[in-house]
Amino acid sequence: MSTRFVTSALFVAIASALPADAHDPGDVVTPHFEKAIPNIPGKTLTALIVNYPPGGASVPHTHAKSSFIFAYVLSGEVVSKVNDGPTQTYRAGESWYEPPASTHLVSRNASQTTPAKLLAVFVADTDEEELTTPIK
């Protein structure tokens, strides 16, 4: 298991351990795929599935300086705000990208009653230790 997956799992475990009134229902991040890109030395493609329960949200976070991210909504609706861009709602089948070193200020389920699911695909330096870091 790579350091990236361990970091993501640790982040989820810490967020889940907080008292319920300390945060919104969190997201659940599941590693899906990771592979070095053979024709781009030093780069790795990592895919994560992000499940948002009804009313669930990710804490505001930054992404690795080297990571280019493609996000695709698999089900439900996800509200997202990246850097200085607008807050937007994406529905199943819609997607967006995040440039390297992005700040992800809003990432949450748009619904209080229906779950949502997102596929996040990162292309980042292979030696990048953390793909996502909570904003303090």
92-124 per-position pLDDT tens digit: 999 999 999 999 999 999 999 999 999 999 999
Residue 40 placed within a domain: yes
Tally of domains within the chain: 1
Strands across the sheet with 43-52, in order?
28-36, 43-52, 116-125, 68-75, 95-98
Q: What is the pLDDT of residue 4?
A: 56
Tell me the two tokens of residue 69. Answer: 């991210």
> Would strands 77-82 and 132-134 be described as parallel, antiparallel, or unpaired?
unpaired
Domain membership flag for residue 135: no
Provide the pLDDT confidence category of residue 16 given band limits of 50, 70 and 90.
Answer: very low
Contact 18, 134 (CB under 8 A): no
Which two three-digit tokens encode residue 78?
A: 């996800």
Contact criterion met (CB below 8 Å) for 117 and 91: no
User: Would residue 7 count as lying in a domain?
Assistant: yes
Could you list the residue range(s) of the whole structural domain that residue 43 is in? 3-129
CATH, residue 106: 2.60.120.10
Using pLDDT thresholds of 50, 70 and 90, give the confidence band for residue 129. confident
Q: Cα(15)–Cα(126) distance, rounded to whole angstroms?
A: 26
Residue 136, in any domain of the structure: no
With bands split at pLDDT 50, 70 and 90, how would you rate the model's confidence at 136?
confident
Does 113 map to a domain?
A: yes
Rounded percentage of the chain residues whose pLDDT exceeds 90: 79
Q: What is the pTM for the complete model shown?
A: 0.81
Distance CA 39, CA 55 (A): 41
